């Protein structure tokens, strides 16, 4: 993941702007990230009774952390990103959280361990030759019984392909299939627990969320989610 994102940090919302996205989002808000926060909240509520320590790896401007905090203010939030500009923006977006610049070859947050580690729209910005280093950092940060959730663009969805190709901030994007990511996880020391597809419908149609969960097996959603743990 490149610190080139420094140049996008001040105008991040403009950098990800796209006519199709604009039709489905509120001004100044990222409805797709908000929908992810609702999914995480729903999943954690059904899987664990305690409040987790959360690390958003590749946190960008901190919007996912903000949306999660809106739903779960009692959780402990941390975020890291290689871009100092993004971290500066995140501190303003989510002042309740602890943010720091991601070190090049060390564990984030000096080896602290987290119950829930999120990678949302991160891997397609990391060249394949850097995946091993990135997942080494993730392994060092994830608690022994912790969960890693990876949200990524689904290259099988034609709308996703079009939006990524025509969005400036995604000029370096290398979309990978969920099968590719799952094999990589096994190679880098993780055990895959589940795969789901999401964003079948515009995110503001919240009444359709239960239906989304029922068809999450269908590989046509705009994005996918891979859930894994340490081996």
Residues 6+ positions from 205 with CB-CB distance below 8 Å: none
**Is the alpha carbon torsion for 189, 192, 193, 197 positive or negative?**
positive
Per CATH, which fold does 3-230 belong to? Rossmann fold (3.40.50)
Q: What does the domain layout of the chain look like in residue ranges?
A: 3-230
Predicted confidence (pLDDT) per residue in 75-98, tens digit: 999 999 999 999 999 999 999 999
- pLDDT category of residue 131 using cuts at 50, 70 and 90: very high
The residue with greater pLDDT, 20 or 206, is 206
- Answer yes or no: are the C-beta atoms of 102 and 80 closer than 8 Å: yes
Predicted confidence (pLDDT) per residue in 136-163, tens digit: 999 999 999 999 999 999 999 998 998 8
Predicted confidence (pLDDT) per residue in 155-198, tens digit: 999 989 988 888 777 778 899 999 999 999 999 999 999 999 99
Check residue 50 and give its pLDDT: 87
Check residue 54 and give its pLDDT: 98
pLDDT, the chain, mean = 87
Phi first, then psi, for residue 123 (nearest 5°) are -60, -30
Question: Which token pair is 140?
Answer: 């060092």
């Amino acid at each position: 993941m490149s610190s080139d994102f420094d140049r996008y940090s001040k105008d991040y919302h403009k950098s990800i702007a796209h006519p199709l996205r604009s039709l489905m989002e509120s001004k100044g808000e990222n409805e797709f990230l908000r929908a992810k926060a609702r999914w995480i909240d729903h999943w954690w509520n059904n899987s664990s009774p305690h409040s987790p320590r959360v690390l958003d790896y590749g946190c960008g401007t901190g919007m996912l952390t903000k949306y999660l905090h809106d739903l779960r203010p009692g959780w402990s939030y941390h975020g890291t990103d290689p871009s100092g500009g993004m971290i500066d923006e995140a501190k303003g977006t989510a002042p309740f959280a602890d943010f720091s610049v991601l070190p090049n070859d060390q564990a984030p947050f000096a080896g602290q361990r987290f119950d829930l580690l999120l990678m949302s729209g991160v891997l397609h910005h990391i060249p394949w030759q850097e995946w091993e280093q990135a997942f080494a950092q993730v392994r060092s940060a994830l608690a022994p019984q912790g969960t890693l959730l990876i949200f990524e663009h689904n290259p099988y969805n034609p709308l996703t392909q079009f939006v990524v190709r025509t969005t400036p901030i995604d000029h370096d994007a290398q979309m990978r299939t969920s099968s590719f990511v799952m094999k990589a996880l096994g190679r880098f020391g993780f055990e895959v627990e589940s795969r789901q597809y999401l964003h079948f419908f515009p995110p503001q149609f919240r009444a359709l969320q239960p239906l989304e969960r029922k068809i999450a097996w269908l590989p046509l959603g705009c994005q996918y989610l891979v859930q894994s743990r340490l081996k």
